[in-house]
Structure 1
């Protein structure tokens, strides 16, 4: 195994466990509620606070890699994540657990943008599709394995075992990255503290509004929070343009969006985050409440999707380096729209659950085609001094898309339940995903040729 592939493997261990968390811990919430005497709202915050502290700082943490080195920031993030997971495993109260989860999310935010940056700095452009295939197989499969692994751990041991699982993997990731990932030159001299603060305020306000709006019933004050976030965003954008005019290092350089494929790729990955990270909710509800399956059986039913995605992504990633930009992505988005439409029809008509294997396989293949190609093509043109900022923007687009998807899907399900019986309501809610993925398909149709010359193989 060559040096660059060993480095990628080391980075993917940490990436997998931080993304696995988003679906893994959700399975443990009922037992956490009972064991720690928590309210439903407190239990929800065990997941919500992780997502907040994970998503909100991504613009800053991506740029921190450019400033202090991707390897160094990854190692700090992995240490924080693993120590916080240990604190979660021994949490005596729900308040302790929520605080530790906030710290754990911050650790995940520090390390999560770094693999994408490192890939774009150590692999030649003509080999990045294959590397992105591995990266996307890890990223996309993590959410699919979460319900299965979580169900088994919680059912066989206890909710604390979920957090104990992170400790050996966190230590392994730390050691392998320290050994195998090279120290890369830093690309920026400073990070503007005003820009960093405004980016945190803007993303926090937008994410909190979208994440908590459905649960709180959209009170008027929440729109005030959103307005404050939009004002902070406007000032933030002005500061970035001013920094670029003065020749200073911007936190999110406007020059990023002059790259055609990055601009359209950021849009398309937000639609992927919207669809993929929220699709399990109506499907799992239907399988358990509509079809009467146990949580473990419902989770195991999702394994074909994960298996197809993991096996196919590296192979399809290599094709991304050989085919015109957008071809794999267009097939992927079209396949994903097809799978969502099939889910909607089959669930609404209450067919035997075995028929769901068809859209599950479609979805696995669609994941493999969509994520790796989109990442490779979006980031491939960026120069070294922009990859950290680009990674932060790209990951933020994905996470904000996921938050918007969860909020929009929740609202759609509630509306549908007012007019239709349960199975029909769950099925029709996925029509929303077909529409949003259509926007993603439009975006990837604008990808342009970006491999103008051959580079030496890694």
Structure 2
């Protein structure tokens, strides 16, 4: 257990590290016009800064947990934060879009080496009976980062969009200095020789498929909801932003309670509840003609997303071998779902708006329960 003041500070740093990842990824979403104008490119071209972060982040995370465990978690996390800080500084002074995109890609790679190692450290510092609620708190901070990033980015852009990256550089530098809490495992003195093949075992891959669907077919349809809010209800940009924000807000408020439920019911059962309920809510949000019903369904869908996303983390961290590599693979699947969703769902929406919501809802309701293992990690 961690009782000293420095220990508490390091535990707090674990949670803030969870906040930093999605916050840094989504920060540019609301300041793309200002970035584009400053760099002499269109808003559409500037939007590549989202993909430049997300794709390397998801790809590198397939191996980052295994490599981090092999190299030593504390050393790896500190180096990753240093790289993230340096890349953020480059973003501050980027003279062109090409330089900015390269720096964003490096940010994504650095973040890929923090998120899974932070989760494993939390798991090892927590009794198994309390693991769900701790992961729920971590999930709430991730949801807070995702939800608050557009607001902070927009406020920064009112003055200069580069200030947002100054904030990222300062926060990541502080987190790197604080480091990680000590745990009771031998990992601190003798890092295990984890292998990627151990992380890519069938149990982990099946949980990864659920994570991909849980984010791609649930949270990943938020952009479609923005389209629908404009096309069918005529909402303005600020009204659409408010509608989308309720998803994240309910996730923040309920993630820790969802974690407690996981401790009582088990990760597998909680994920199944979230997947089926989330599928129904996506279908409602994408088809009902009443705006208040759409908003209510999307708010409750934010809770269902925590059932799935906190649950899959608990499923791979509660036991089994190569936990660092396993959670890394599952997180890579999750963010791959976010990257694939716009490419896969936009054509469906353009063909028929309801199909853009009903197809992912059906996949979430049918495939996720079939893929989710019924037992704990072997």
The answer to whether the superposition gives a TM-score over 0.5 is yes
- 1:356 equivalenced with 2:294 (yes/no): yes
- 1:290 CA drift (Å): 4.7
Partner of residue 188, structure 2: 184
Which residue in the other structure is 1:251 paired with? 196
Structure 1 residue corresponding to 2:263, chosen from 321, 331, 334: 321
After superposition, where does 1:105-116 map in structure 2 within 5 Å? 105-116=108-119
Rounded to whole Å, the distance in 2 between the matches of 1:449 and 1:387 is: 13
Structure 2 residue aligned with 1:222: none
1:383-439 Cα deviation digits (max 9, x unpaired): 3xx1122122112211222222222112223333xxxxxxxx2x4411122022121
5 Å-filtered alignment, 1:395-434, equals 395-416=331-352, 425=353, 427-434=354-361
Extract unaligned runs of 5+ from structure 1. 190-248, 417-424, 452-458
- Alignment correspondent of 1:448: 375
TM-score, normalization by structure 2: 0.88
Count residues in correspondence: 371
1:251-400 correspondence runs (5 A): 251-253=196-198, 257=201, 260=203, 262-288=204-230, 290-346=232-288, 349=289, 351=290, 353-383=291-321, 386-400=322-336
Structure-2 separation of matches of 1:157 and 1:288: 28
TM-score with structure 1 length normalisation? 0.74
| 1:317 Cα deviation after fit | 0.7
Kindly report the root-mean-square deviation, in angstroms, between the aligned alpha carbons of the 2 structures: 2.6
Residues of 2 paired with 1:415 and 1:133: CA distance? 38
**1:376 Cα deviation (Å)?**
0.6
Pairs within 5 Å for 1:84-163: 84-154=87-157, 156-163=158-165
Structure 2 CA distance for partners of 1:392 and 1:15, relative to 1, 3 Å: same
Identify which of 48, 54, 59 aligns with 1:56: 59
Q: Find the residue that maps to 1:283 and give its secondary structure.
A: helix
- The structural deviation recorded for 1:10 is 1.1
Structure with greater Cα Rg? 1
Distance 1:374 1:53, change over 3 A: closer
Closer/same/farther in 2, CA of residues 437 and 142 from structure 1, 3 Å limit? farther
Unaligned runs of 5+ in 2: none
